[in-house]
Structure 1
Amino acid sequence: MELDPKTRRWTLSRLPPGTEILAVEELRGGWSSLVRGLHTSDGDYVLRSMTRPELAERAHDMLTRETLVLRMLESAGFPAPRTLGTDLSGDQCGWPSLLMTRLPGRVEIGDDGAAGTRALALARRLAAIHRLRPPSPLPEYVPWAWPGEIKYPGHTVHAELWRRAEDLITRNPPRYPGRFLHRDFHPGNVLFDDTGALTGVIDWTESSYGPADLDVAHCATMLALLHGDALSDAFVDAYRAAGGQLATDRATHLYWRLLDALSFAPDAPNAGEAWRGLGRHDLTPDVLARALERHLGYLIRTFG
């Protein structure tokens, strides 16, 4: 893989003088952008480019927000990439782009004996994120599921389950104490090293202000799809044990869990596409559709 000449010139202008780009690779696992790893004579870097047409109108805001948050995290000593330059217009790189340092580690989503240990590490790190206080105000969270627009899977024989889940989020959102949210925190945006230690958190483009329950719900949904409901709930329990504060009443907890889970309807294609690219070929759209439906039923039976 190569950078086009214009992108290469812009990138090198943001790196120390004399730096040479030795190799370029596409980093798998992302959905919203093209993420390229740059191996250079000065070290390793990452170039994120917002290439999806449906995100074109939001690309400027997403990269501006990520740059702001990465600078805040750097000043707080939090393990996250360090920003080196942005091409918000895309004039230099072809698409709106952000150049940043590359953290050690890799995404781990295998359905193996270490998944439970990783879930505990995720919970502790998310609780630490929610204790951060950004120096500048962030936009309020935006829900990713809207009553009346939920797409039920066409083959389902449990349409009543979907209607019940949608009914339970058809009300005004519960009141909540606001927190700094990653907003897209899940195993695909967290890195681990060879020892199993968590080395950093990436992809801060959706950072916002809102209920901690929603960040927890998003990761819990992802874990349910990847590993099942038991590990999903173990993550939630570990978040509380790490000092994280969640809604205490079951109806409010269920609201946030369903609001996130329904955003994956009908077959979780976004997550599935990235996960299959990381080797989880077992997670086909049909498998994920069934897993999501099972998860909805589990949530309603447990908290409804």
Structure 2
Amino acid sequence: MANHDEAAAVRPSTLAWVSRHLEVGERIVRTEVLHGGITADMRKLTIGTRDGGTRHLVLRSFVDPFYLGHAEDWLNREASALILLAGTGVPAPGLVAADPIAAHCEYPSLLMTHLAGRAVLDDEGLEIRLPLLARQLVAIHALRPAERPRQYAALTTADTVVVPTGADAAAWAAATDVIRKPAPSYDGSFLHRDFQPSNVLFDVPPSHPAGARVSGVVDWAAASWGPADLDVAHCCTNLALLHGPAWGLRFAEAYGEAGGVLAEAASERLYWWARDALACSEEVQSVAQPWREAGRAELTTRAVEERLDAYVTALMDTLG
């Protein structure tokens, strides 16, 4: 078996567990590191089939000690979400197997089907992808599962916000005051809870970029029930940091144009959007690093902090 990255090869116990979930006559012929994730080690596994062909699976393993304490919960939630999503029309991976407590694997792991396409983080073509992102999120929010996932969690508080050096102090103080207030009431929706460009796969024909389509939505470990505004806000923040503040604001408009329903009052929308933007202030470095690894070398931690400051200021100017 050829390993794409020998330094972090999949351990024998994990490979044996994967093999037990293959079809008769199949075998693992290659492992390849998938970059772009923050919390988990992701591997694309090439499986040799009985007829001489190949197919692919994805292995998600929690190896970083910092995240191991959350692995059981996150993997159970993702497994449940993938089961729920099967047959809904949302292009999510199919669950193959899960070992949330590492009973069989070296690390807590989940095995799922591989989806075609790739995450696209470039500025080029964003005007085409934006409405596709919005329509996909509307479709996710329209799901009404028989069994709701757990309630959303928003851990950021006014006391945990990290104001970037040189930021607009007045805008950040005003935004922080917004999230000191109680959360607005809302009509619940099924949430992805980390819907953003890194977790949406696109099929973009090289000869026809305008024919791009969403081919998959991945990373369902935080699937929740809560306000649609929170999912929209998260995508807005990420678009603002990747492409500039105006694109963050534009996504909210695209979501409405696609049939999505947000809170009626500007003050309520601002609460959710400010909350997500301020939450990002606590983890700018961990957000920016995978983007640089994916080819956006200009997105240094400092550059992302500056965009976050500009976005928070724009939110307060627009909705505050």
TM-score bucket (shorter structure): over 0.9
Q: How does 1:22-37 map to 2 (within 5 A)?
A: 22-37=29-44
Match of 1:17 in 2: 24
How big is each residue's C-alpha offset from its partner over 1:71-130, in whole Å with a ceiling of 9 and x where there is no partner? 111132321100111111113222110000000001100121x01111110000000000
Q: Quick one: which of 179, 193, 200 aligns to 1:183?
A: 193
* SS in structure 1 of the partner of residue 176 of structure 2: helix
User: Contact between 2:291 and 2:299, CA under 8 Å: does it hold in 1?
Assistant: yes
Query: Cα–Cα, structure 1 residues 24 and 211, in superposed 2: closer, same or farther, change >3 Å?
Result: same
> Please, which moves more after superposition, 260-269 or 35-44?
260-269
Alignment of 1:150-169 (within 5 A): 150-153=161-164, 155-169=165-179
- The DSSP-based 3-state class of the residue aligned with 1:31 is coil
User: Does the CA-based 8 Å contact 1:144-1:260 persist in structure 2?
Assistant: no
1:137 aligns with 2:148: yes
Question: Which among 181, 184, 190 is matched to residue 171 of structure 1?
Answer: 181
Q: Write out the 4+ residue segments of structure 1 that deviate beyond 3 Å after TM superposition.
A: none
Partner of 2:208: none
Q: Specify the code of the residue in structure 1 equivalent to 2:75.
A: L
Q: Which runs of no fewer than 5 residues in structure 1 stay unpaired?
A: none
**Residue type of the partner of 2:18?**
T
Compute the displacement of 1:236 (Å).
Answer: 1.1
1:50 aligns to 2:62 (yes or no) = yes
Mapped contact 2:168–2:313 kept (Cα < 8 A): no
In the alignment, which residue of structure 2 is the partner of 1:62? 74
- Map of 1:78 onto structure 2: 90
Deviation at 1:17, TM superposition (A): 1.6
- Between 1:163-172 and 1:215-224, the stretch displaced more is 163-172
One-letter amino acid of the structure 2 residue matched with residue 175 of structure 1: S
TM-score normalized by structure 2? 0.91
SS at match of 1:200: strand
Q: Return the offset for 1:56.
A: 2.1
1:115 alignment partner AA: L
Q: 1:268: Cα distance to partner?
A: 1.5
CA distance, structure 1, for counterparts of residue 155 and residue 217 of structure 2: 21
Equivalence for 2:232: 216
Task: Tell me the CA shift for residue 135 of structure 1.
Answer: 2.2
Give the Cα separation in 1 of the matches to 2:170 and 2:245. 21
Measured after TM superposition, the shift of residue 267 of structure 1 is 6.3
Q: Aligned partner of 1:252: which letter?
A: E
Secondary structure of 1:299's match?
helix
Q: Supply the distance in 2 between the matched residues of 1:273 and 1:209 (Cα, whole angstroms).
A: 29
- Matching residue of 1:115: 126
> Following TM superposition, by how much is the alpha carbon of 1:165 offset from its aligned partner in structure 2, in angstroms?
1.2
SS at match of 1:150: coil
Identify unmatched segments of 5+ residues in structure 2.
50-54, 206-211
Q: Percent same amino acid at aligned positions?
A: 40
Note the 1:138-287 alignment, pairs <5 A. Answer: 138-153=149-164, 155-195=165-205, 196-265=212-281, 268-287=284-303
Q: Deviations over 1:36-92 (max 9, x none)?
A: 010111300000012232322221111111111111111323211001111111132
Structure 1 CA distance for aligned equivalents of residues 307 and 187 of structure 2 = 31
Which has the larger displacement, 262-271 or 252-261? 262-271
Q: Deviation of residue 241 (structure 1)?
A: 1.3
Counterpart-to-counterpart distance in 2, 1:220 and 1:125: 14
State the one-letter code of the partner of 1:46.
Answer: V
Name the CA distance, whole Å, in 2 between partners of 1:171 and 1:280: 36
Q: Which amino acid aligns with 1:111?
A: D
State the 1:25 CA deviation: 0.9
CA-CA distance at 1:266 after TM superposition: 5.1
Distance 1:142 1:285 in 2: 26
* Residues 162 and 150 of structure 1: CA distance in aligned 2, closer, same or farther (over 3 Å): same
In structure 2, the residue corresponding to 1:58 is in which secondary structure? helix
Please say which of residues 56-65 and 293-302 is displaced more in the overlay: 56-65
TM-score by length of structure 1 reads 0.96
Structure 1 SS opposite 2:225: strand
Distance 1:38 1:25 in 2: 6
Report the number of matched residues: 302
